[in-house]
Structure 1
């Protein structure tokens, strides 16, 4: 398979764009002017595939269509934006251009957020928070790709994207902003499945606290024994026990 090498934006390019946004507002034309003035902030992988800016533009178009269905460019409520996150996570997880190691590059996501669709970033997260433009697990779109890839139950599953659509934002953050969990697709998915099972037995209003307790317990146990080495059945039972312990601790308070 020929790999599409996507454009990469250096950290200084993100900073320069954010400075320009103070004057022009977040828009693609402004960042394209920056690339014209400071071409050294843009790069591609030197080898291993073919260089393409079109693939990044196509990704941006797909994201815009999803955002428009959620109400963009109107401000929109949190429910609409949560819906955008879910559908965008599914879209990005299946995007052919992101099926290679390019998707692991923070600077690829910085380019997508800062150059291709900066207006979506400020729509989803009003303001000009640098972490939402720069690459990393808080990048507006990189975080969604991580969710989609991490919680994909597989093409043969009857409810392939059920975890992506079910977990609320706080639960997603607890999983995907914890490198010790997010770095393992098996562990991420197991924790999400544990959340699903627990949410069916208790009130939704208490799940945020239980999830946080469960993550604390899990991280401690993961220090003692690497949970990613457990087989599927053992991992499921261990995570279920952790959620039971978290629920019991909540009941005792």
Structure 2
């Protein structure tokens, strides 16, 4: 498979562009979108430079997803959530970005500040530095979506269900997994197992918050991870083990025997 290198943006230029864009609307920033920048660069080795046409197609696809949800007019929470799910799949399925490239904040800074500044401003109007500079990829407007899709992508599922798990947890819940990305988040199979079990849990919302339940479950997974190699388990055994932990979390938080 051909490995393409995406353009990246020097940090100093990224900061300058962000400052220039502050206070501007998505519509105003439409004319600032470009396929290149004088301060862009590529990784020295590992592949060939991405053809400009692929960048143009990626922008068109993501811009279309935004327009379907009212761009450039402001979005509501539901529109933002469905946009995130759609773009997560687009980025992971169609962009050609590989994990070795996806850890580079400079790559994501290029996408948010050069290729799609209007879409970035539409999604996060304050253009918070974490959302556009790539200093924390797990909070970046686009970077977090690629990683979200990467963690849930199930290559063994049927074609239409490869990213089905994107619909199970929202952004705030995924943040809890991102926060543990060096442990839980480092194992896509474990994440998919957690999502499978989570989808089957009937949460008594009058007794416990979903966020608290997920946090407790993740802490139990972390403790057991010191003794159990989750990646070596079959999917059925993994689900059984995680289901047991989920039951323990429910009993602990609800006081049920």
**Range class of TM-score, shorter chain:** 0.7 to 0.9
Cα distance in 2 between the residues matched to 1:46 and 1:172: 33
Check conservation: 2:187, 2:231, Cα contact below 8 A: yes
List per-residue Cα deviations over 1:50-100 (Å, max 9, x = no partner): 323432332222111111112221111101110111111121221152247
Cα distance in 2 between the residues matched to 1:169 and 1:130: 18
One of 166, 180, 193 as aligned partner of 1:178: 180
5+ long unaligned stretches in structure 1:
none
One of 229, 232, 235 as aligned partner of 2:238: 235
Check conservation: 1:8, 1:110, Cα contact below 8 A: yes
Q: Structure 1 pair 148/85, CA: closer, same or farther in 2 (3 Å)?
A: same
Q: How does 1:109-128 map onto structure 2 within 5 Å?
A: 109-128=108-127
Cα distance in 1 between the residues matched to 2:157 and 2:232: 24
Query: What residue number does 1:45 align with?
Result: 43
Check conservation: 2:25, 2:122, Cα contact below 8 A: no
The farther-off stretch of 87-96 and 61-70 is 87-96
C-alpha deviation, 1:247, in angstroms? 0.9
C-alpha deviation, 1:24, in angstroms? 5.5
Q: Structure 1 pair 25/84, CA: closer, same or farther in 2 (3 Å)?
A: closer
Check conservation: 1:28, 1:115, Cα contact below 8 A: no
Check conservation: 1:28, 1:116, Cα contact below 8 A: no
**Residue 144 (structure 1) aligned with residue 142 (structure 2):** no
Check conservation: 1:24, 1:30, Cα contact below 8 A: no
C-alpha deviation, 1:10, in angstroms? 2.4
The farther-off stretch of 172-181 and 158-167 is 158-167
5+ long unaligned stretches in structure 2:
none
Cα distance in 1 between the residues matched to 2:74 and 2:156: 34
Number of corresponding residues? 247
One of 168, 171, 178 as aligned partner of 1:169: 171
Query: What residue number does 1:16 align with?
Result: 16
Check conservation: 1:44, 1:51, Cα contact below 8 A: yes
Cα distance in 2 between the residues matched to 1:66 and 1:154: 24
C-alpha deviation, 1:216, in angstroms? 2.0
Check conservation: 2:168, 2:195, Cα contact below 8 A: no
C-alpha deviation, 1:137, in angstroms? 0.9
Cα distance in 2 between the residues matched to 1:110 and 1:218: 33
Check conservation: 2:217, 2:249, Cα contact below 8 A: yes
Q: How does 1:53-202 map onto structure 2 within 5 Å?
A: 53-99=52-98, 101-135=100-134, 136-154=137-155, 156-157=157-158, 159-179=161-181, 180-198=183-201, 201-202=202-203
Cα distance in 1 between the residues matched to 2:24 and 2:59: 20
C-alpha deviation, 1:131, in angstroms? 0.8
Check conservation: 2:59, 2:116, Cα contact below 8 A: yes
Over the residues paired in the alignment, what is the CA RMSD in angstroms?
Answer: 2.7
Cα distance in 2 between the residues matched to 1:115 and 1:189: 33
Which has the larger share of helix?
A: 1
